[in-house]
């Protein structure tokens, strides 16, 4: 069964990019632009993982993360924020986020963190030699 990811990102261009990267990884994706839409999606769909920008309108990311932990404690969350928002990112980690990414986000790091957080959370093997790409492939060829 394909896992369903929810992207909560107010920037349409970034949301589209994250959507494509997750689809490339085999996930089914729902993308919304604010915290209210995200909470609606969580109530109406089965969500397996969440990419959450901490600066979303309607309901800020930390408030949403707190509510998410109270109602959907088992959903893994990766939070996003600009690199100058270190305190906010640390607060999000203390509030239950599994990991974080700073913007701008590289495709390689985005996919690496998603694999680690989402696959680990669901008990799936994180790395398989047939999935090696880029740096991992080079490293396995050297051995």
Residue 124 φ/ψ, nearest 5 degrees: -95, 150
Q: What are 32-58's pLDDT values in tens digits? A: 999 999 999 999 999 999 999 999 998
Q: What are 102-133's pLDDT values in tens digits? A: 999 999 999 999 999 988 755 544 333 333 34
* Rounded CA separation 71/122 (Å): 18
Structural domain including 38 reads 4-142
The pTM score is 0.82
Residue 121's CATH number: 3.40.50.2300
* Rounded CA separation 76/122 (Å): 9
Query: For residue 74, what are its two tokens?
Result: 């088992």
* Overall number of domains in the chain: 1
Is residue 6 within a helix (H) or strand (E), and if so which, with residue range? strand 4-8
């Amino acid at each position: 069964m394909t896992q369903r990811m929810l992207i909560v990102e107010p920037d349409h261009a970034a949301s589209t990019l994250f959507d494509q990267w997750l689809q490339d990884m085999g996930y089914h994706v729902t993308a919304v632009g604010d915290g209210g839409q995200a909470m609606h999606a969580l109530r109406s769909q089965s969500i397996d993982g969440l990419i959450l920008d901490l600066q979303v309108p309607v309901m800020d990311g930390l408030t949403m993360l707190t509510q998410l932990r109270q109602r959907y404690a088992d959903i893994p969350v990766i939070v996003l924020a600009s690199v100058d928002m270190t305190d906010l990112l640390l607060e999000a980690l203390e509030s239950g986020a599994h990991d974080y990414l700073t913007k701008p986000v590289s495709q390689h790091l985005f996919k690496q963190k998603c694999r680690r957080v989402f696959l680990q959370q669901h008990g799936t093997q994180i790395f398989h030699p047939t999935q090696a790409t880029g740096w991992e492939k080079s490293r396995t060829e050297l051995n």
